[in-house]
A and B are shown apart, each in its own frame.
Chain A
Amino acid sequence: MIKLVNVCKSYQLGNEEVKAVCNINLEIKEKEFLSILGSSGSGKSTLMYLMGLLEKPTKGKIIIDGKDVSKLDDNELSHLRNRYIGFVFQSFNLINRYTVKENILLPIKYSKTKIEFDPEERADYLMKRFGIYERRNFFPNKISGGQQQRVAIARALITKPKLILADEPTGNLDSKTGEEILNLLKELNKDFGVTVVIVTHEREVAKKTKRQIFIKDGQIVKKYL
């Protein structure tokens, strides 16, 4: 479903060109559950942002469902992010002045095409399933970290995306809650058939996934199949 071909991303730092990732060749199939493992500064986050269409590669191609997306404009990329991809971040990244439910429904506001389901119903369903329905009218800073991350996952799922990109989803949580969140992501992969990519520096977290990709100094160095 998503394929990276010879992808490079470099940044201009003053006069110096810094390569964050280079020569990445990677294919992720539908309904996969995998992790990208790397130490800090290895380029794993850049790789995630490239797959999440938040960054454009300086070289190479990103192909989604057979279509090269590296040349699309802001409108088309935003639309793809909105309908195809869901993000889960380490620091949850909820908007604190919106309630739990409003946060979950936010992506719907940016949808440029007709939505075939009732977003309110889906939000209610997701909140019930994740055990945060009772907290629907709370503001994010009034609920626990684990609950906040569940809200973030519900937000990522509201538009029925095919791909969930989770950047250190357990990084701000204690180990027990982190475990719960990982189990939840695993369930989603199984029950909803959604592809889940977890970016992490923790080997323990990576072990939970079926496939691990190891990244070092901006290059994929080993593949566990």
Chain B
Amino acid sequence: MNGYKDIIKAAISDFGRNKIRTFLTSLGITIGVLAVVLLIALGLGIKNYIKQQFESLGANLITVLPGSGFGQGFGAGLINNTKFDEKDIKALEKINELKYVVPVFFKATSVEANNKKEFAYIRGVNEDFFKLRNVKTLVGKQFNSSDNQSKAKVAVLGYSIAEKLFESPENALEKTVRIEKQRFKVIGVSEKKGNSEEDLSIVVPFRSTYGAINPDKTFWGINLGVESEKDIQVAKKKVKDTLLKRYDEDKFTVSEQAEILSTINQIFNVLNIVLVAIGSISLIVGGVGIMNIMYASVTERIKEIGIRRAIGATEKDILVQFMAESVLLSAFGGIMGLLIAIGIVVIVRPFFPLSINLIAVIVAVGVSSFIGIFFGVFPARRAAKLSPIEAIRYE
């Protein structure tokens, strides 16, 4: 035929004759693309959500934990019982690249206030914790270094624990909470972080935990902050060297946020591939549907194919005509699926972190067109290879 415009016009006018069949055939592809795009959106959404949670901790964060290696760190820490103390803090503070050195005492326990008893995470840290971990107060203030030096019994509550104990953050100010029989005055409540561990935290000066809460004056981990990302590697090495003077290599782990992030990325990339593979099954089913209909379409138009051949259509003209129909069918289905998926993402987004990116769009349209070509080529070849005479005599 002359131009692509003619071919596409002819295909669309054919679809017009058979609206229900066209709709049902492309519905298979619509559902397949919808499934793939939504699954990609889901995978990406969860990945971005977790990434954000980690990044809110600060990208320039270095963490020292007991045990050897991320992953087994927590368990190993419990077994070989490495604990850090103020000597380590002093040694680390001598490293120039480190802007913040924050000891972290951590204990999960119950707290009492206002005649209520609630579960909370106690964090004993210094004043730099708030800057390093980007924690802002909603009401009240944060403690400072002199509060720490003087072992002041003051506490900054996480949003959720403040709500649980005192109904509202404003109510919590100046009230007293009892942590393991010690009384702490609430001087501030932090902004909601959306992370249950942080929102259920009670942050206190680390020295104030010495005594009943933290009798051996040790820390579970150390958080370190550098000025800029490029210092991370040097700082990491110096931290390791410093700690090696006191501990064996397998007793502690120095890891940076970026490492954890890249691990998360790896996990989710695999997860995304699995999700797309599951969604692709429905795409293949849709493609088989198209192939089926195209075969039927060739059979019912055998005579027409013969006529076209007699008046001068080449094998290629016939091939192109049927290919165009199957590609248009599946591309139409693909675009419908994409539009529905975008609609769903826009509606669901306020409640759940779905996310669509350009790759999802390209995959959806590309794959559905490819399915049109792949599953269309067999019926189209059959049409093109028909003998003109037999086709014209076909009744």
When the two chains form their complex, are residues A107 and B389 in contact, meaning their CB atoms are under 8 A apart? no
Q: Confirm or deny: B317 has a beta carbon within 8 angstroms of a beta carbon on chain A.
A: yes
Q: Mark B302-322, 1 if CB is under 8 A from A, else 0.
A: 011011111111111100000
CA distance A125 to B307 in the complex (A): 23
Residue contact A87 to B311, C-beta cutoff 8 Å? yes
- CA gap between A142 and B150 in the complex, in Å: 103
Which residue in chain B gives the minimum CB-CB distance to A94? Answer: B307
Chain A positions within 8 Å of B392 at CB level = 54, 89, 93
Residues of chain A from 151 to 177 with CB closer than 8 A to chain B in the complex: 155, 159
Q: Would you call A111 and B312 a contact (CB within 8 A)?
A: yes
- What B residues does A54 contact at CB under 8 A? 309-310, 388-389, 392
Q: What is the total number of residues of chain A having a CB less than 8 Å from a CB of chain B?
A: 24
Asked whether A81 is an interface residue with its Cβ less than 8 Å from the other chain, the reply is yes
In the complex, which residue of chain B has the Cβ closest to the Cβ of A165? B310
Q: B307 and A78: CB pair below 8 A?
A: no
The verdict on A75 contacting chain B, using a C-beta distance below 8 Å, is: yes
CB distance from B307 to the nearest CB of A (A): 5
Question: A110 at the A/B interface (Cβ < 8 Å)?
Answer: yes
Within 8 A of B (CB), among A20-62: 49, 52, 54-55
Known: A97-B17, A109-B1. A81 touches B311 (CB 8 A): yes
Minimal beta-carbon separation of B297 from chain A (angstroms): 13
- A110 near B308 (CB under 8 angstroms)? yes
Complex contacts, A52 vs chain B, CB 8 Å: 310
Query: Closest approach, in angstroms, between the C-beta of B191 and any C-beta of chain A?
Result: 67
Q: Which of A81, A94, A97 contacts B312 (CB 8 A)?
A: A81
A165-206 contact mask (Cβ, 8 Å, vs B): 1 or 0: 000000000000000000000000000000000000000000
Name B1-40 residues within 8 Å CB distance of A: 1-2, 6, 13-14, 17
| 5 closest Cβ pairs, A-B complex | A82-B312, A110-B312, A78-B314, A107-B311, A54-B388
20 contacts between A and B (CB under 8 A): A52-B310, A54-B310, A78-B309, A78-B312, A78-B314, A79-B314, A81-B311, A81-B312, A87-B311, A89-B392, A93-B307, A95-B307, A97-B17, A106-B308, A107-B312, A109-B1, A110-B308, A110-B313, A155-B311, A159-B312
- Chain A residues within 8 Å of B, Cβ to Cβ: 49, 52, 54-55, 74-75, 78-79, 81-83, 87, 89, 93-95, 97, 106-107, 109-111, 155, 159
